[in-house]
Amino acid sequence: MEINKPPLFKVVSRWHNAMPQYTVGHLDRLETLENKLAEHLPNVYVAGASYRGVGLPDCIKQAKSVVQQIKQKMN
Ligand SMILES: Cc1cc2nc3c(=O)[nH]c(=O)nc-3n(C[C@H](O)[C@H](O)[C@H](O)COP(=O)(O)OP(=O)(O)OC[C@H]3O[C@@H](n4cnc5c(N)ncnc54)[C@H](O)[C@@H]3O)c2cc1C
């Protein structure tokens, strides 16, 4: 764009700890969590950035999967 003037103003917004950072063993822990939920709290499901992907498409995919599981259980 060939902008050669300095900006009139600037704002830096830092989002500390905004994104989950999965560590090694995450999927194993998730499997343990889901197995324990199925055993002890069978009507509780988890979905969202903490689990299987941080991006919005990942979160939507997880939500749809949970809805399918609930619908199957209700039938
Ligand atoms: C700055 C930023 C930019 C991003 N940009 C993108 C992007 O461009 N594209 C992309 O794909 N992803 C982006 N992401 C990632 C994506 O937005 C998040 O990973 C996603 O929104 C997480 O969805 P979620 O449902 O897991 O959690 P959230 O969207 O955080 O939803 C959790 C909800 O639970 C509520 N809540 C929390 N505690 C309680 C409680 N005790 N009781 C009741 N309700 C509660 C909160 O108020 C919130 O509404 C961005 C994230 C950030 C932080």
Number of domain units in the chain:
1
* 51 within a domain of the structure (yes/no): yes
* 67 within a domain of the structure (yes/no): yes
Structure pTM? Answer: 0.87
* 3 within a domain of the structure (yes/no): no
If you take atom 52 of ligand 1, which residue's CA is the nearest one? 18
CA–CA dist 16, 20 (Å, integer): 11
The whole domain housing 59 covers 41-75
Closest atom of ligand 1 to CA, residue 47: 26
Both tokens of residue 42? 């069978």
pLDDT of residue 36: 98
* 29 within a domain of the structure (yes/no): no
* 71 within a domain of the structure (yes/no): yes
Mind listing the pLDDT tens digit for each residue in 13-39? 999 999 999 999 999 999 999 999 999
* 55 within a domain of the structure (yes/no): yes
CB 53 less than 6 A from any atom of ligand 1: no
pLDDT of residue 31: 97
* 31 within a domain of the structure (yes/no): no
pLDDT of residue 34: 96
